[in-house]
Amino acid sequence: MKEKDKKLTDIIDGMSLEDKALMLTQYPIDSICGNKEIVTGCWDMDGMTNDMIMRVGTVLNVANGETADRIRAIRKENGIDDPLMFMLDVIHGYRTIFPIPLAMACSFDTELVEECARIAAVEAAADGVDATFSPMVDLARDARWGRVMETAGEDPYLGGEMGKAYIRGYHNGGLACCVKHFAAYGAAEGGRDYDTTDVSERNLNEHYLRAYCECVKEKPEMFMSSFNLLNGKPLLAHPELTVDKLRDEWGFNGVLISDYNAVRELNVHGYAATPRDCALTAFNAELDIEMCSPCYANNLPDLVREGVVDEKSLDEKVYRVLKMKDRCGLYDIDKSTDTQKRDKITLCEEFRAAAKKAEERSCVLLKNDGVLPLKKSANIALVGPFADEKYIFGHWASTGRADDVVTVQQGIERTLGRTVESEKGCSYDLLSDDESGFDAAVRFAQNSDVIVACVGEHMYNSGESHSRADIALPKVQTALLHRLKTLGKPVVLVVFGGRPLALTDVLPLSDAVLYAWQGGTECGSAIASLLYGDAVPSAKTVMSFPRSSGQCPIYYNHFQTGRPRASGKPAVLSGDICTVGYDDEYNDPLFPFGYGLSYTTFDYSDLKLDKAKMRRDGKITATVTVNNTGDRDGTEIVQWYIRDKFASVVRPVKELKGYERVELKAGESKTVRFEITKDTLAFFTDGGAFDAESGDFDLFVGGNSRDCLQTGFALVD
């Protein structure tokens, strides 16, 4: 045994059963020091005495170095030597807030994501945080689900790439991290957060588990189990996932932590009758840390004494927690907050600049009939509930502050170097029907050259527990746009959302649409740069934009049916029957996965393969010429997709296999390459093996998942 390991096993040898159970228990920081910082669920002490709470091994929701220091001191005074580990949801920034992860993924820029995660980690670590509960790599196919904002969207491959980038960034910045929520939490029925999931083993392996599995390669310290029922059992009753898959097959040897109160919720689900049963179920699923419920603390010691639970297994779990603390250096240094250093780096210019760049690369230009970029001399009318709103930075902004945020109005003022007025017109409240501000907004816009309308959903209408049944723009905002349209002026929509909203009704009321998501501290300055052409849009959406809520779930990598509807049109328009589709809605989304415009245009030509057939040990190199055909420099995100035409199980119509951000000067052409090997073509075959099958394949390349050049090749034995 290595020296370090012995150090840890010695500690374990000196622990009582009670202390071991408490090492596996995590409580919020407020329960220790009475500070109410952040609470992400309900909790009560439920049999935990003050002394027990004082002795827990890890704590969540610290968001302040001084508080962390105070708690360390209180524990020392009470004779507790073990270093407490402080955890927090640092999801898209700590004090400098970056765009929501869904937006960041639209940059297809893993280096940028890594750098933003590093900055978040640097700020958080300087303020007493040891670990973050991020990245979230749940697959998001249903925009009604509030938590799509935390994901990288609907593609499993991109999800894995983004997840790994976050982990690298956190590690570089000095933070431990946690991949969540294992597993299939994103498949909630009806898009209702926390709701039941029913996912076949094939769908799990192919789609829902891919990103989690990929993340293991970057050695995250923790995995978090999810709240949901999966195929009839709560996640913590699925040892075939948490043990066989995660630990044995994927080789994850870090800490498995529950979600908030989820062990106790085994009872609420109707699975475990008593707290003791809850503890035992979770223990057998190899759960290490129980977050915010006391089933382990109150029951494990007796379960060991009664011989129901083996103390060796308990020690293994404790060991994993100590090992994580050791990996974070907690046994080597006496931590205390360097407030001077913290205050110097927090929200510094360099970090703000990174936040601005991130939002510039995250905003998706969905429509532009030539009105953008705006001329700096144009007389704009800035209207809408988000025109001068600071709450545009995103729901999971941990310790972000609205006061730090640059609004769209402020951003435009900075860009133009003069003051600008704005008029709200209406509220952003989802159910508001108050049109009393419309007249003022219309009067305000009357003499302008162009209207810039900042509309969308409020950041607290997405995120955890904020699912929506109707994801159209709130009615009052649509009504405002109808009134503004009567002025006959060009209308630019800047849309805020934690999800792709269904924009069908408002698209005809606009001449351009810039989808800003929720863009962090520098949201307004980035939007202004994009509106005025100081920055050129390059992002591509990573979730299909539904035409209507009824289309959800909708995703590009679906299966072909036996009765596809060639027209894709509603049956009442096309007369198509006995084919898949709706009577009253199109089949395709309003904007497909991978879609986004620029201020320039790109042309794809000359798609070639160096050979048409490949052996299993061979490779094919595909090339395509991408030409910037406009008069501005720009960046195109080139996307490669594959379809396996016939296989032992039906393959999706397209699957993203590669992408590249390609910078092109006006008029410039570049040859972009993509290598195909057997691994590119592998999937879970009918026998269950992850392998490629011989046969014919389609290869697609383009600037979105719909409009592609296409060729074919074969894999031969």
Contact set with ligand BGC (CB under 6 A): 40-41, 60, 89, 133, 180, 259-260, 464
- Nearest to ligand BGC of 89, 286 (CB atom): 89
* Residue 512 burial by Cβ neighbours in a 10 Å radius (0-12, 13-18, 19+): buried
Look at residue 451 and give its three-state secondary structure: strand
In the bound state with ligand BGC, the residue whose beta carbon lies nearer, of 277 and 464, is: 464
CA–CA gap between residue 417 and residue 414 (Å, rounded): 5
The residue from 19, 259, 326, 644 that is catalytic is 259
CA distance 413 to 525: 9
Structure tokens given for 346: 């927090």
**Is 260 or 602 the residue whose CB approaches ligand BGC more closely?**
260
In the complex, minimum distance from the CB of residue 194 to ligand BGC, in angstroms, rounded to a whole number: 8
Among 433, 498, 496, residue whose Cα is nearest residue 465: 498
Identify which of 347, 289, 395 has the alpha carbon closest to the alpha carbon of residue 127. 347
State the nearest-atom distance from the C-beta of 209 to ligand BGC, in Å: 18
The residue (of 261 and 587) whose beta carbon lies closer to ligand BGC is 261
CB of 289 to ligand BGC, least distance (A): 12
Residue 259 a catalytic site member: yes
CA angle 676, 677, 682 (to 5 degrees): 105
Backbone angles phi, psi at 380, to 5 degrees: -95, 150
Is beta strand 131-132 parallel, antiparallel or unpaired with respect to 85-88? parallel
**Cβ-based nearer residue to ligand BGC, 238 or 357:** 238
Report in angstroms how near the CB of residue 200 gets to ligand BGC at its nearest.
24
Q: Of the two residues 429 and 464, which places its CB atom closer to ligand BGC in the complex?
A: 464
Q: Which is nearer to ligand BGC, 180 or 361 (CB)?
A: 180
Nearest-angstrom CA–CA distance, 416 and 448: 16
Cβ neighbour number for residue 75 with a 10 Å cutoff: 18
Sign of CA dihedral 104, 226, 61, 328: negative
Task: Measure the CA–CA gap between 314 and 20, rounded to whole angstroms.
Answer: 8
Nearer to ligand BGC, 179 or 442 (CB): 179
With beta carbons less than 8 A apart as the criterion, state whether 448 and 490 touch: no
Strand order, beta sheet including 290-291:
255-257, 222-225, 176-182, 131-132, 85-88, 58-60, 25-28, 290-291
HSE of 508, CA atoms in CB hemisphere, 13 A:
6
- Give me the least distance between CB of 380 and ligand BGC, in Å please: 40
- Residue 3 CB, shortest distance to ligand BGC, in Å, is 34
513 Cβ partners below 8 Å, 6+ apart? 365, 366, 367, 368, 492, 493, 495, 503, 507
Closest separation in Å from C-beta 34 to ligand BGC: 19
Q: Is the peptide bond before 666 cis (omega within 30 degrees of 0)?
A: no
Q: Which residues are catalytic?
A: 259
